[in-house]
Amino acid sequence: MKFTLNKKDKKTAARRGTLVTPHGTIETPIFMPVGTHAAMKAMTPVQVKETGAQIILSNTYHLHLRPGEELVAKAGGLHSFMAWDGPILTDSGGFQVFSLPNKRITEEGAYFKHEVSGEEVFLDPARAIAIQEALGADIIMAFDECIPYPCDRKYAAKSTRKTLRWAEQCKKAQTRKDQALFGIVQGSVFEDLRAMCAKELVQMDFPGYAIGGVSVGEGLDLLKKVVEYTAPYLPENKPRYLMGVGLPEDILESVERGMDMFDCVIPTRYARSATLFTNRGKIRLTNRKYRRDFYPIEPNCTCYACRNFTRAYIHHLFNANEVLSAILASIHNVHFYLNMMAEIRRAIEEGRFADYKREFLESYLKGA
């Protein structure tokens, strides 16, 4: 994997890069739509590609439980199994395990209950890597402990040191040379812990770095702070991935602070509950005021949904409980995110990222 930094913004830390992977080239900053079970929710791979997606994310935890990495490997790996020929990133399962109610996390790894069979499952750095090697994504993630928020300093420090030991173990466990393993910076909201974690990881020399644990309830102000004091410790010539983020405003603030890659279930999850993104903020399409609204979701949008259907029609689909409502809304929301990323890239190239961000947010936050 090769990362090239094409341009740095003069006024902010925003960066414009190119990441070459075995399954294709990714222009950064980029948003990665999430296909948890080796499938985007309510979209075919062709529709995902049409939204402008360059790379998608899938979840190791879910695929390990069902259908199991062995079956995916037998199918020829994740790309072949799900018919997505572009780049894929898999997370390590750390975040999902952390979200479970009955997990038990030790020095060695995490124990939890299989949500289908009820059996106890054990995940540790070596197994997380082995699973991700069987799945075969282009970018794989280190197994980390995602720290709950809020969290006291003592636990955060202890946990961050464990994440570092696990990162080392992940590196050692890696056998495939065609997958790029990213290290994950933890440290909760403590600046010195984030700095320590970043520095130690950089010592280990990963091909890319992620900031984890910022999508678990801190809010935009803390997110900005964490990114602001963590990103400078990450090497300039490596991609930087902010995990699980976020809303358009979160992404803009994080690009400004030097982040390159993002993923989030928000565009597809919101779509299924009729919340659509537009340049004038989010709209709730089930609202009665859209019953006779014969405009597209977003008049300037070029997605399949906006080129062909009206708000009135999609409002009707949601009312009638038609699956097509989720399909069209998902296409639009994912396209909205990826179009925003394309605009961000163009703005950085043309040296006007700060203006773009201001103008976007003025319109977006006023309308919301």
Residues at the binding site for Zn(2+) are 301, 303, 306, 332
* Spatial separation of the C-alpha atoms in residues 251 and 71, rounded to whole Å: 35
> Which residue positions form the known binding site for substrate?
91-95, 144, 186, 213
- Choose, by CB under 8 A, the member of 37, 113, 280, 282 that binds a second copy: 37
Binding flag, residue 78, a second copy (CB under 8 A): no
- Choose, by CB under 8 A, the member of 172, 292, 346, 358 that binds a second copy: 292
Binding flag, residue 33, a second copy (CB under 8 A): no
- Choose, by CB under 8 A, the member of 130, 316, 354, 363 that binds a second copy: 316
> Which residue positions form the known binding site?
91-95, 144, 186, 213, 301, 303, 306, 332
Q: Could you give the maximum distance between any two Cα atoms of the chain, in Å?
A: 60
Query: DSSP secondary-structure letter at 34?
Result: B
Does 192 participate in catalysis according to the annotation? no
Does 205 participate in catalysis according to the annotation? no
The CB-of-43 to a second copy minimum distance in angstroms stands at 7
Q: Do 262 and 253 contact (CB within 8 A), yes or no?
A: no
H helices of the chain, where?
45-50, 60-65, 69-74, 78-82, 94-99, 125-135, 153-173, 191-204, 220-230, 248-256, 266-272, 304-308, 311-319, 323-349, 353-367
The one-letter code for the residue type at 69 is: E
Concatenate the DSSP letters of all residues of 190-251 into one string: -HHHHHHHHHHHHHH--SEEEE-S-SSS--HHHHHHHHHHHGGGS-TTS-EEETT--SHHHH
Binding flag, residue 38, a second copy (CB under 8 A): yes
Binding flag, residue 197, a second copy (CB under 8 A): no
Catalytic choice (9, 85, 91, 178) = 91
Q: Do 227 and 255 contact (CB within 8 A), yes or no?
A: no
The residue among 12 and 310 lying less far from a second copy, judged by its C-beta, is 310
Catalytic choice (124, 260, 263, 293) = 263
Region from 39-47, 145-153, 159-167, 175-183 binding a second copy, contact rule CB under 8 A:
39-47
The one-letter code for the residue type at 184 is: I
- Identify the sign of the CA torsion 141, 147, 153, 155: negative
Binding flag, residue 74, a second copy (CB under 8 A): yes
The residue among 241 and 336 lying less far from a second copy, judged by its C-beta, is 336
Interface residues with a second copy (CB under 8 A) are: 37-46, 62, 66-67, 71, 74-75, 81-83, 291-292, 294, 304, 308-310, 312-313, 316-317, 319-320, 322-324, 326-328
Residues designated as active site: 91, 263
